[in-house]
Amino acid sequence: MSRKTPGEWLLSQNSNFSRNGVSCPTQRPCKTIAVSSGKGGVGKTSVAIKLSKLLVERGEKVLLIDCDYNLSNTAVKLGFPLESKFYDLLQSKIEFDEAIHKDGNFHLLSACNGNVDLFEKDLGLENLIIDIISAHNEDYDSIILDCPAGLTKEVCTLSGYCDYRFVVITPDKSSITDSYSLIKVLGQRFGVREHHLIFNKISNEKQYERLTKTFLETASLYLDCRLNVLGAIPFFRQNVDLFDRELLKVAGSKIHNSFNNVIDRFTEENIGTSANSFPIFQRGLDSGLGQKQDVQSL
């Protein structure tokens, strides 16, 4: 990796970055999407998994990379065995093809869970993930990164490197504040000016409108960026195991339909709502949102 500053290096590597307000077309053969959030517990991993699966349904070959290198949850949610293949790959003990879980055209590079050796090493994980993307992007139509929660240099570097950034936000004041902080730092430190927002755990349309209004109004006042609203995912009031089964259904569930609408909006020519053109709201919420609001709603 170059010794340039992170922002300079990202601009030199990512041809999709905007220079002087002009968007340059990407030359990479596949699209890369970072799924992130300012706060943990917002459903980021579930969003990354479902989006990956839906893109596969639409004919793509997809690689999902769990970037939470020592607290991996993707394999747990998908029912895959917990293994140390990620660490073995980093140690060059196995090849990339041996390290991934394969389910047809859905491939997963899972991370580790509580690996002490990995914990004690300073590996520069973000550089390793970018090397993996560079080495294998010709093999996939999409590469999706399930980024760790929080505001770290690793998360910002990975998010800035990708073509697109999906920020997952819930009706929780700390989620709103932390997501705002993530977008702010990405703009000011890494020159990243465009993000796609997914609002998760939404109880009803009024709550969705209040949440989007609050976030977009604040961003339009204080942040120089474009925010594209992809839509809402309904709040699921059952336990986690039931939610994971519902999440992985191929079709027929309200959650599945909501995620399909998110993908549809992402692939349209004019996507979502821009903070620079507020107020314009996404067309009506997906069907099936309940009427009760959860205790953390605005």
Give domain status of residue 5, yes or no.
no
The verdict on residue 296 lying in a domain is: no
Cα–Cα distances in angstroms (integers) from residue 173 to residues 7, 166, 227, 295, in the given order: 29, 19, 18, 12
Contact 145, 162 (CB under 8 A): yes
Instruction: Give the pLDDT confidence score for residue 276 in this predicted structure.
Output: 45
Confidence at residue 17, expressed as pLDDT on a 0 to 100 scale:
40
**Alpha carbon distance 244, 143 (integer Å):** 22
pLDDT exceeds cutoff 80 at 270: no
Tally of domains within the chain: 1
Q: Determine the pLDDT at residue 115.
A: 66
What's the pLDDT band for 250 if we cut at 50, 70, 90?
Answer: low
What digits encode the pLDDT tens for the residues 28-48? 578 999 999 988 888 899 999
CA distance 129 to 161: 10
pLDDT for 151: 87
Q: What is the 3-state secondary structure (H, E, C) of the chain?
A: CCCCCHHHHHHHHCCCCEECCEECCCCCCCEEEEEECCCCCCCHHHHHHHHHHHHHHCCCCEEEEECCCCECCHHHHHCCCCCCHHHHHHCCCCCHHHHCEEECCEEEECCCECCHHHHHCCCCHHHHHHHHHHHHHHHCCEEEEECCCCCCHHHHHHHHHCCEEEEEECCCHHHHHHHHHHHHHHHHHHCCCEEEEEEEEECCHHHHHHHHHHHHHHHHHHCCCEEEEEEEEECCCCCHHHHHHHHCCCCCCHHHHHHHHHHHHHHCCCCCCCHHHCCCCCCCCCCCCCCCCCCCCC
User: Which domain does 31 fall in, by range?
Assistant: 27-277
- Given a cut of 90, is residue 15 above it in pLDDT? no
Higher pLDDT pick, 265 / 77:
265
CATH number for the domain including 264? 3.40.50.300
* Rounded CA separation 103/112 (Å): 19
Residue 293 lies in a domain: no
Distance CA 168, CA 152 (A): 16
In a domain, 9, yes or no: no
Tens of pLDDT along 51-88? 999 999 999 999 999 998 767 788 888 888 878 888 88
| pLDDT, position 297 | 35
Q: Which residue has the higher pLDDT, 13 or 46?
A: 46
141 within some domain: yes
Give residue 169's pLDDT. 95
251 neighbors 209 (Cβ within 8 angstroms): no
Q: Is residue 181 part of a domain?
A: yes
Q: What are phi and psi of 34, to 5 degrees?
A: -95, 125
Please state whether beta strands 142-146 and 62-66 pair in parallel, antiparallel, or not at all (unpaired).
Answer: parallel
Residue 13 lies in a domain: no
Q: Which position has the higher pLDDT, 284 or 144? A: 144
Task: Find the mean pLDDT for residues 230-242.
Answer: 77
Q: What percent of the chain has pLDDT over 70?
A: 72
- Residue 219 forms part of a structural domain: yes
